[in-house]
Amino acid sequence: MAASAKTNNSLTSAMRLILSNDSPENTTISDSTTGQVLYRFSTPSGKGIVNIFRVVPNDSDGDHMKDRFEQLAQIEWYDPTTSIFRYRGQKYLTTEFFKHEGKSERRRSFIAADGRAYVWVLSTHTSSLELHDNSRTLIARSYRQKHMLSGPPEARKAYIEISLGGEHIRDDIAVTWAFAESVRRALELGRL
């Protein structure tokens, strides 16, 4: 990719996903319009394993109003270079799935289910997902939780905005956000 290529920073949001908190280890992700929980991230206490679940239709006769989840992915955290990532029926070292881009630790690329390359660009307050081509089209952006004393609770929540061009890879966005956010935090704390 040419170094002079600029990111198309405009994001026409098709979907806003609200995080119960901005931890990639323990959170739920809900649709901001319906309130429906779409993903659940959980880490059993004392273990470095993040289990990522997505909601699936509940066709049960007995309790059809209760959410049912299936495992979508799993990350075994060691550090960003030796962690194990299970997704789409495959097992990867994180360095195989999330390619380090250039000299900066702040760019991590991957191939989504649609076969296209995307790159997470990690910054202090937001992280952006772009198409990994010359267009650098903005696909999604994540925003950290705001720590403010006043204002409605909804205004403080962390969230991920997904563009119209990213709706079809929503699972990829949610799952890779967990890894990207963990790397971003490690960089912020000087651990990478």
81: domain CATH number is: 2.40.160
Q: CA gyration radius for the chain?
A: 17
> Do 144 and 158 form a contact (C-beta atoms < 8 A)?
yes
Residues 6+ apart with CB under 8 A from 29: 17, 18, 19, 20, 37, 38, 39, 40, 41, 160, 174
The C-alpha torsion from 124 through 127 and 131 to 136, rounded to 10°, is -40
The answer as to whether 110 is a domain residue is yes
Element (DSSP H or E) covering residue 65: none
The answer as to whether 121 is a domain residue is yes
pLDDT, tens digit, for every residue of 87-142?
A: 999 999 988 898 887 777 789 999 999 999 999 999 887 889 999 999 999 999 99
User: Domain limits at 124?
Assistant: 13-188
- DSSP classification of residue 61: S
The answer as to whether 42 is a domain residue is yes
The answer as to whether 6 is a domain residue is no
The answer as to whether 17 is a domain residue is yes
The answer as to whether 7 is a domain residue is no
> Do 24 and 39 form a contact (C-beta atoms < 8 A)?
no
Count of structural domains within the chain: 1
The answer as to whether 8 is a domain residue is no
The answer as to whether 51 is a domain residue is yes
Q: What is the pLDDT along the chain (192 residues), one digit of tens a residue?
A: 444 344 555 566 689 999 998 777 888 899 999 989 999 999 887 678 899 999 987 776 655 557 889 999 999 987 766 789 999 999 999 888 988 877 777 899 999 999 999 999 998 878 899 999 999 999 999 987 655 455 545 555 788 999 999 999 999 999 999 888 888 887 877 766
Of 96, 135, 88, which Cα lies nearest the Cα of 114? 88
